[in-house]
Amino acid sequence: MYHRSYEDEDGNWVQEFDDEGIDYLIKGLEELRDQEPGTEMCTPSVSEGEDGGIESMGLSILKKYDPERPS
């Protein structure tokens, strides 16, 4: 599976996926749709530098909006 997030030279945030990554994202969003407001889904996230080395590691979080607890 391939998923890459980066900022392009114009300052836009880009997310790049292969077919398996798109399927994974769609499945996660469909599962999130059926959850209670405020539910979070997480997946590991790795940021690479220009040289291909790891710059940082963290979580990529999708959260279902909860109108009773706005961000």
Per-position pLDDT tens, the chain of length 71: 888 887 889 999 888 899 998 999 999 999 999 999 999 998 888 777 778 788 888 888 899 999 998 76
In a domain, 35, yes or no: yes
**Please, are residues 44 and 31 in contact by the beta-carbon 8 Å criterion?**
no
Q: How many independent structural domains does the chain possess?
A: 1
Cα angle 44, 45, 47 (rounded to 5 degrees) comes to 155
Domain that holds residue 23: 3-63
pLDDT at residue 8 in the model: 87
In a domain, 71, yes or no: no
pLDDT at residue 44 in the model: 81
Single pTM value for the model = 0.69
In a domain, 50, yes or no: yes
What amino acid is encoded at 15 in this protein?
Answer: Q
